[in-house]
Amino acid sequence: MVYLYFGALIFFVFGAKIRAFVTGENPSQTAYSLSMSICDGFSPLPKSSNFGQKTKKISAPKYIRMKYLLGVTLDTLNTWFQERGQPRFRAGQIFDWLYKKEISDIMQMSNLSIDLRYALDKEWKAHGIELVKIQTSDDQQTYKFLWQLHDGKRVESVLIIGENRDTQEAQRRTVCVSSQVGCPARCAFCASGREGLLRNLEPDEIIAQVYEINRWLQKERGERVSHIVYMGMGEPFRNYEAVLQSIRTMIAPDMMGISQRRITVSTVGVVEGIQRLASEDLKVNLVLSLHAPNQKLRQKIIPYAREYELQSILEAMYDYAAKTKRDITFEYTLLAGINDAPEHAHELVELLKNKQCSVNLIPYNPVAGLKLEKPSHEAIRGFRKILDAGNIISTCRYTKGDDIAAACGQLALQKS
């Protein structure tokens, strides 16, 4: 009996020390848990342990996101209110304050009881971005907004005031939104992807860029946002679900109510993203960042282009046009000595001939640290003349906002 007692004691002591070594636990606590696990019929060593290696200490996340109202569906809010014994119409009241009255402070929603406002404010905020600064171009036609996110990261978006081809409005007020922090495409001419992709934006972070710019625009100019382009930082189809949710929020009549025909999504050519968008019940405009007339040159300008063959991308684009009855556009950034020669223009004509599309030529906008140059006016005119002769519809984008680094390709990661 004595021998059994000492044998059991030695087993527990050494067993506790071994488990403490494996798991990093306190030996005295391990002895107790060891005895309990044996009594319960379980193995004294945890199944996930790697014997002889100390487990890594997992730190808690630095930032914890709250719930955000922008982008949340009416059904989700209805459920929240019903779980707290509130009538369903409360969700409609929130939508009315948020989207019609454009009041984002829950404590100002005066037709809710003060107790209900406190309960809401404890769990929800309108969105998770904060305006850091606004830069205005010399001609006061371009405004660049710098936003700080809940985790301290920053993104930029741009408001562009321009002529409107729609005769009902004298001007169009376009917001260029970001969909990611950084960008995975790493286009040779673009500042956004120089540090790669840091993270995706959440739906509220995308929607809030338009929402807050719209509020600012009404206050400063008595006007509203008319158009939205997903051409800021990031590749929209690499954040598909959040981008789709933001689009649905912007077009919903009881939310932001913007016509989907005034929304444009730009991609470097993520085939599955193009195909998924074609299967949605949407008719937004689709733009391909082409920038070269062949696969070999395109891969040099857009490293991400190695993921997909150009022909596969074009097939997906044409399929999108057929399903949605929307014309498609190809963006082509002209880089001096790289893709602006007459032979490139002729090759582009061959690539796109007999297709219902247009080409948007974009003279390169300088980015600090990049040894690239804008083509001469003669080269740009010559390139476009060849496209015209080949019956390719083309436009040449007038550079706006380059004095505040807000032009195409100039949006960059900013440190807090």
Active site residue 408: yes
Catalytic residue among 39, 102, 156, 347: 156
pLDDT at 190: 82
Asked if 175 and 183 touch (Cβ cutoff 8 Å), the reply is no
Contact status, residue 51 vs residue 68, Cβ threshold 8 Å? no
The residue type at 279: S
- Choose among 205, 279, 215: nearest CA to 246: 205
d(CA 27, CA 44) in angstroms, rounded, equals: 13
Cα atoms in the 13 Å half-sphere on the side-chain side of 208: 25
- Which of these is catalytic: 176, 187, 190, 408? 408
| pLDDT tens for the 416 residues of the chain, in order | 544 444 544 444 444 444 444 334 444 444 434 343 333 333 333 333 333 334 334 333 444 567 999 999 999 999 999 999 999 899 999 999 999 999 999 999 999 999 999 999 999 999 999 999 999 988 888 999 999 999 999 999 999 998 766 546 668 999 999 999 999 888 877 877 777 899 999 999 999 999 999 999 999 999 999 999 999 999 999 999 999 999 999 999 999 999 999 999 999 999 999 999 999 999 999 999 999 999 999 999 999 999 999 999 999 999 999 999 998 999 999 999 999 999 999 999 999 999 999 999 999 888 777 888 999 999 999 999 999 999 999 999 766 555 655 546 555 555 65
Main-chain dihedrals φ then ψ at residue 296, nearest 5 degrees: -60, -50
Residue type, 103: I
CA dist 410 and 68 (Å) reads 30
Q: What domains, with CATH codes, occur in the chain?
A: 1-58 (no CATH), 67-125 (1.10.150.530), 130-404 (3.20.20.70)
CB 204 within 8 A of CB 70: yes
Q: So what's the pLDDT on residue 45?
A: 33
Whether residue 353 contacts residue 392, with contact meaning beta carbons closer than 8 Å, is answered with yes
Name the residue among 286, 266, 270 with its Cα closest to residue 333. Answer: 266
